[in-house]
């Protein structure tokens, strides 16, 4: 990983530091000099924060909806999506590149989970949960962090070419 920051990243860090740590009077003065109405800025900031919080809560609901399925529900969901349970397990474990999943499939998954496409997409995009707990091994358990394309996931599950083509079709 490259630890050296670009000039843009350094500027962004300085801006965030100013926003987070500047005294309120100094920050208000800066906004006034910039021609920004502090009341309007505060209102818009609050609305943006509330929207982000709602999106996060929605994604958490979708994560929980997918994670809390019992085996019978998992089988019904896999059957409804016409996929193998190993594909569903990989989706639940965040092992797929979300951008490679066809919109039609995401729409079906969202409908069957009773969620929105946006919340399901956000839920699948979050990093896999970290493994914690005590084990008899001296080494930490390693989460499967390697993500693969949706098509590769279907191939790894030994699905037929016809099944893969049907699932990868984004129209209809």
Sign of the torsion formed by the C-alpha atoms of 49, 53, 59 and 63: positive
Over the stretch 155-167, which tens digit does the pLDDT of each residue have? 999 899 999 899 8
Can you give the pLDDT at residue 151?
Answer: 92
Token representation of residue 91:
């989706």
How many angstroms separate the CA atoms of 108 and 113, rounded? Answer: 9
- pLDDT band at residue 87 under the 50/70/90 scheme: very high
Is residue 167 a contact partner of residue 102, using CB atoms and an 8 Å limit? yes
**Mean pLDDT score of the chain, rounded to an integer?**
82
pLDDT at 172 > cutoff 60? no
Query: pTM of the prediction?
Result: 0.61
- pLDDT band at residue 1 under the 50/70/90 scheme: very low
Region 98-104 average pLDDT: 92
Can you give the pLDDT at residue 171?
Answer: 60
- pLDDT band at residue 116 under the 50/70/90 scheme: confident
Question: HEC profile for 100-141?
Answer: HCCHHHHHHHHHHHCCCHHHHHHHHHCCCCCCCCCCCCCCCC
Q: Among 96, 85, 94, 91, which Cα is nearest to 157's? A: 85
How far is residue 98 CA from its own chain's centroid? 8
Can you give the pLDDT at residue 141?
Answer: 58
Over the stretch 127-159, which tens digit does the pLDDT of each residue have? 766 655 555 666 665 555 688 899 999 999 989
How far is residue 166 CA from its own chain's centroid? 25
Domain-wise residue ranges, the chain: 61-129+144-168
């Amino acid at each position: 990983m490259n630890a050296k920051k670009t000039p843009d990243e350094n500027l962004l860090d300085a801006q965030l530091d100013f926003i987070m740590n500047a005294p309120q009077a100094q920050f208000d003065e800066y906004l006034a000099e910039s021609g920004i109405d502090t009341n309007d800025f505060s209102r818009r900031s609050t609305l943006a924060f509330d929207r982000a919080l709602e999106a996060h809560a929605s994604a958490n609901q979708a994560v929980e909806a997918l994670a809390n399925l019992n085996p019978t529900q998992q089988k019904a969901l896999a059957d409804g999506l016409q996929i193998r349970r190993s594909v569903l397990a990989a989706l639940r474990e965040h092992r797929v590149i979300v951008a490679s999943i066809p919109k039609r499939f995401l729409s079906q998954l969202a409908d069957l989970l009773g969620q929105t496409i946006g919340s399901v997409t956000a839920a699948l995009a979050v990093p896999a949960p970290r493994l914690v707990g005590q084990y008899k091994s001296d080494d930490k358990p390693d989460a499967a962090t390697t993500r693969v394309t949706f098509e590769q996931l279907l191939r790894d599950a030994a699905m037929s070419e016809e099944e893969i083509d049907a699932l990868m079709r984004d129209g209809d």
